[in-house]
Homo-oligomer: A and B are copies of this chain.
Amino acid sequence: MRNIIGAKTNFRSVNTYANRGMNLEADIEASNIFYLNNDIAVVYKKPTPITIAKVNYPSRSQAVIREAFFKTPSTTDYNGIYKGKYIDFDAKEVNSKTSFPLQNVHEHQLKHLRAIYKHGGIGFLIIRFIPINKTFFLSIEKIDKFIKENSRKSIPIDYFLEEGHLIVDKYNPRVDYISIINKYYFGGSK
């Protein structure tokens, strides 16, 4: 990340928690650029929401934020359009080989994805199991099915294999979630 004077900053690497998900995030970012440049889909990551407390104006044209705080996002990180359809998702990385702890997803994110589904959109999570480097697509319907049928607080990887879709590693786009949507929501038509 570069600030406006071009100095490289890496504030995220300071904080281990904030650093989680950066690789998957970078892969999705690269994929979204691929989709955009190849006119396949238009998907963007939303900016990180912050609350601004202090702003200075050292010059007429420039504002410098001097005090701000990270806010809890009310929605997911990504949304966009594919073949006219609204798509909406969040990306999560976990250090487990065997299961995805549901505490990684905020309740307001699930609520948001349910609303998207209800309104006819495609809502899902992209989840990467870091130690085995496997990335899955799991729809909100299937997440809710799991929550309804299980008392477990984490979703085992078997459930991803059965009810989710493995997103096979590629060079470009790196995380080809659109191919999953195309196959399972549009019958694989080009």
A44 in the interface (beta carbon within 8 A): yes
Question: Which positions 101-118 of chain A face chain B at CB distance < 8 Å?
Answer: 112, 115-116, 118
Q: Are B70 and A67 in contact (CB under 8 A)?
A: no
CB-CB contacts of A74-104 with B at 8 A, as 1s and 0s?
1100011111111010000000000000000
Residues of B contacting A85 with CB < 8 Å?
84, 86, 120
Q: Does A41 contact B (CB under 8 A)?
A: yes
Q: Does A9 touch B at the CB level, under 8 Å?
A: yes
- Residues from chain B with a CB closer than 8 A to the CB of A41 are 119
Count of chain copies? 2
A120–chain B nearest beta-carbon distance, Å = 3
The reply to whether B69 and A120 contact each other, CB–CB distance below 8 Å, is no
> Are B50's CB and A14's CB within 8 A?
no
Residues 21-71 of A at the B interface (beta carbon under 8 Å): 36, 39, 41-42, 44, 46-55, 57, 62-71
Interface of A is mostly: mixed
* CB-defined contacts of A69 to chain B, threshold 8 Å: 3-4, 62-65
Other-chain contact of A3, B46, B53, B88 (Cβ < 8 Å): B53
A11, CB-defined interface residue at 8 Å: yes
Q: Which residues of B contact A132 (CB under 8 A)?
A: none
Kindly state the separation between the CA atoms of A64 and B69 in the bound complex, as whole angstroms. Answer: 5
Give the complex CA separation of A120 and B9 in angstroms.
Answer: 38
Nearest-neighbor residue (CB-CB) of A11 within chain B? B55
Tell whether, in the assembled complex, residue B119 and residue A52 are in contact, meaning their CB atoms are under 8 Å apart.
no
| Given A1-B51, A46-B46, A65-B70, A83-B9 contact (CB < 8 Å) | no
- Sample of 20 further A-B pairs with CB below 8 A, known A3-B67, A15-B57: A1-B52, A3-B69, A4-B69, A9-B53, A9-B54, A11-B52, A11-B53, A14-B55, A15-B63, A42-B119, A44-B74, A44-B75, A46-B46, A47-B47, A47-B50, A64-B69, A65-B67, A81-B120, A82-B119, A84-B121
